[in-house]
Structure 1
Amino acid sequence: MADNNGADQAPKKSKLKLIILLVLVVVLAVGLSIAGTLWFLKDQGDDSAPEAGSDPAEEVFQPSQYFVLDKALVTTVQSQGRQRYVQVYLAFEADDPAALAATELHLPLLRSQLINVLAGSDFMALQAAGSREQLAAEMLAMVNGVLAQEGAPALKGVLLRNFVMQ
């Protein structure tokens, strides 16, 4: 009986050694492949990277700034012979603080022109899909036109914060 137990023990130890050896080989192979990949990528990155100071046109991220109109623009629009009301709260978006300062300076003129753009819209057309984006684009073009006449930088966008039709 003792001989049978000893014979069973010897093959298990050799299988355990074989499994440990295979796991070590696999881990070593994976580690070497990762190290080799990183080494090759590092060499490629160094060759293609431009030198510091050689590319002055590199663009730096500048977050947008906003100017929010506190008072809503309220006007009437025509709809099939009836007068309807439209109320819009706006915000102006710009990358340049000078554009927002010019917007604040010329705000009475801009409010008047924005109300004219809004009043010239058709009530039924404003209810259509995509019409609000088109209205914001028209307002942006008008505001940038006024700012260009005044010699100020242009805005990036006109944002509709709240839009109510009655």
Structure 2
Amino acid sequence: MKRIASLLLLLSLFSCFHVAAEDKKDYAYYGFEPDIVTNYISNRKKLGFVKISVELMVNDPTDLVALEHHDPLLRSAIVEILGNQEEDKVKSLSGREEIRRECFEMVNRLMQQETGKETVVNLLFTKYLYD
């Protein structure tokens, strides 16, 4: 009886690992080089600037070629979004998340127009500096 219980336990563990292995995706990341640096709308007399590192997460590593090809277009769109932000939004955590989400949606919209599919699963700010 103990052997049967042990065997059933092993079979259930194996099936759990098998399902987990099937659910794994082959994610890849595309990083913009160099970092993106631009001005934003400042409340002060001097210009404010923001410097960010952006990583785009995709499901399929073959999508990296399309991202690299459209890098200038995507970079320009992110710079434009950042440049139109108010200082309070740039400097707040909730504002940063709104900016990230807006960049993510724009990148996917542009990729949809250029390639016919939304390739980006997530957009990450890995560095976010402002003055």
- Per the alignment, residue 67 of structure 1 pairs with 30
**Larger-Rg structure:** 1
Asked if the contact 1:99–1:153 (Cα under 8 Å) also holds between the matched residues in 2, the reply is no
Code of the aligned partner of 2:35: A
Report deviation, 1:162.
Answer: 1.0
Q: Which moved more, 1:136-145 or 1:147-156?
A: 147-156
Q: What TM-score results when the alignment is normalised by the length of structure 1? A: 0.62
Report deviation, 1:134.
Answer: 2.2
Query: Which one of the candidate residues 76, 80, 100 is aligned to 2:39?
Result: 76
Q: Kindly indicate whether residue 79 of structure 2 is the aligned counterpart of residue 106 of structure 1.
A: no
After superposition, the Cα gap between the structure-2 partners of 1:96 and 1:66, relative to the gap in structure 1 and judged at 3 Å, is: same
Structure 2 residue matching 1:79: 3-state secondary structure: coil
Q: What TM-score results when the alignment is normalised by the length of structure 2? A: 0.77
After superposition, the Cα gap between the structure-2 partners of 1:153 and 1:80, relative to the gap in structure 1 and judged at 3 Å, is: closer
Listed one character per residue, the Cα deviations across residues 23-59 of structure 1 (whole Å, up to 9, x for unaligned) are: xxxxxxxxxxxx45x736867x98xxxxxxxxxxxx5
Matched positions, count: 123
CA distance in 1, matches of 2:29, 2:63: 10
- Per the alignment, residue 162 of structure 1 pairs with 127
Asked if the contact 2:27–2:61 (Cα under 8 Å) also holds between the matched residues in 1, the reply is no
Unaligned runs of 5+ in 1: 1-34, 47-58
Code of the aligned partner of 1:162: K
CA distance in 1, matches of 2:40, 2:23: 44
Question: Which contiguous aligned blocks of 4+ residues in structure 1 show a shift greater than 4 angstroms?
Answer: 40-43
Code of the aligned partner of 1:70: E
Q: Give the alignment's Cα RMSD to 1 decimal.
A: 2.7
CA distance in 1, matches of 2:5, 2:80: 63
The correspondence of residues 21-32 of structure 1 with structure 2, limited to 5 A, is: none
